[in-house]
Amino acid sequence: MPSLLDLSNSTILITGGAGAIGRVVVDMLAGHGATVVANDVLSAADAHAALPVGPNVRYVQADATDSAEVERLFAALEQTVGLPDVVCCHAGVVGAHPVQEYPLAEFDSLMSLNVRSAFLVAQAGAKRWMAAGRPGLLIFTTSWVMDVPWPEITPYSASKAAMKALMRGFARELAPHGIRANAIAPGIVGVGMAKRQWDTDPNYQARARKAIPLGQLQTPESVAHAFLYLCSPLAAYMTGSVLLVDGGCSLYPMDE
């Protein structure tokens, strides 16, 4: 019986793919046979240093917040690996300031990457699938904080709640075209943006230590497993869903 986790017939695009979680996701999906195109703003040299090496991993540098760059990204894909089967809106940024001091310019740039670029990239994929009469899958990376306020990152929480709403909207509106959309909501991962806050902000670390019922920082591999599942035929009937993989963070742990 063929493996239900064999992705060798899938081509997958992931924005922010050279980031700390993204590169592990790329490795996981490519390791299961997918052709994976990582997009990021990093130089090709920096991205290639971060990404796994393999015949089925490619890199395209583009700014996912810029519509002309996103058009160029999809054109580059179509000229090489073809239209992707899965588009992952994964690039994101966090900023930490008390709400009363949060700089508006930082609010705008966070929303531009987390929300606007996710919309732009999802729209670019969806319109091509519809024009080609093909099915497609969108995956949005949200966060457990889309539903739970966490001090000093309120615009980030709002952006992830907006991404969840975008995901549900794409899922509802495009289901008749065979286009599905789901989200992955990780918890507090021990690499990338959360690890930077963990390492630099003692208040964050003290709070995070109490917030994870399973008691340890999340591995990026656990996030990658969620991507693998959603990209596989095992999840073929899922649309409009959030796959929460957060070690129980959103269970509102008490300070026992």
Ligand X SMILES: NC(=O)c1ccc[n+]([C@@H]2O[C@H](COP(=O)([O-])OP(=O)(O)OC[C@H]3O[C@@H](n4cnc5c(N)ncnc54)[C@H](O)[C@@H]3O)[C@@H](O)[C@H]2O)c1
Q: ∠ at Cα 73 (72, 74), nearest 5°?
A: 95
User: Cα(251)–Cα(253) distance, rounded to whole angstroms?
Assistant: 6
Q: Of 134 and 209, which has the nearer Cβ to ligand X?
A: 209
Report in angstroms how near the CB of residue 35 gets to ligand X at its nearest.
19
Please give the residue ranges that form the binding site for ligand X (CB under 6 A): 15-16, 18-22, 39-42, 63-65, 90-92, 113, 117, 141, 143, 186, 188-189, 192-194
Report in angstroms how near the CB of residue 74 gets to ligand X at its nearest.
14
Q: Of 97 and 177, which has the nearer Cβ to ligand X?
A: 97
Report in angstroms how near the CB of residue 33 gets to ligand X at its nearest.
23
Confirm if 206 and 212 have CB atoms less than 8 A apart.
Answer: no
Report in angstroms how near the CB of residue 1 gets to ligand X at its nearest.
34
Q: Of 16 and 155, which has the nearer Cβ to ligand X?
A: 16
Torsion on CA atoms 139, 141, 147, 152, rounded to nearest 10: -160
Q: Of 15 and 250, which has the nearer Cβ to ligand X?
A: 15
User: Cα(158)–Cα(43) distance, rounded to whole angstroms?
Assistant: 30
User: Cα(37)–Cα(59) distance, rounded to whole angstroms?
Assistant: 6
Confirm if 124 and 71 have CB atoms less than 8 A apart.
Answer: yes
Q: Of 4 and 150, which has the nearer Cβ to ligand X?
A: 150
Report in angstroms how near the CB of residue 159 gets to ligand X at its nearest.
8
Beginning with the edge strand found earlier in the chain, give each strand of the sheet holding 86-89 in spatial order. Answer: 57-61, 35-40, 11-15, 86-89, 136-141, 179-186, 242-245
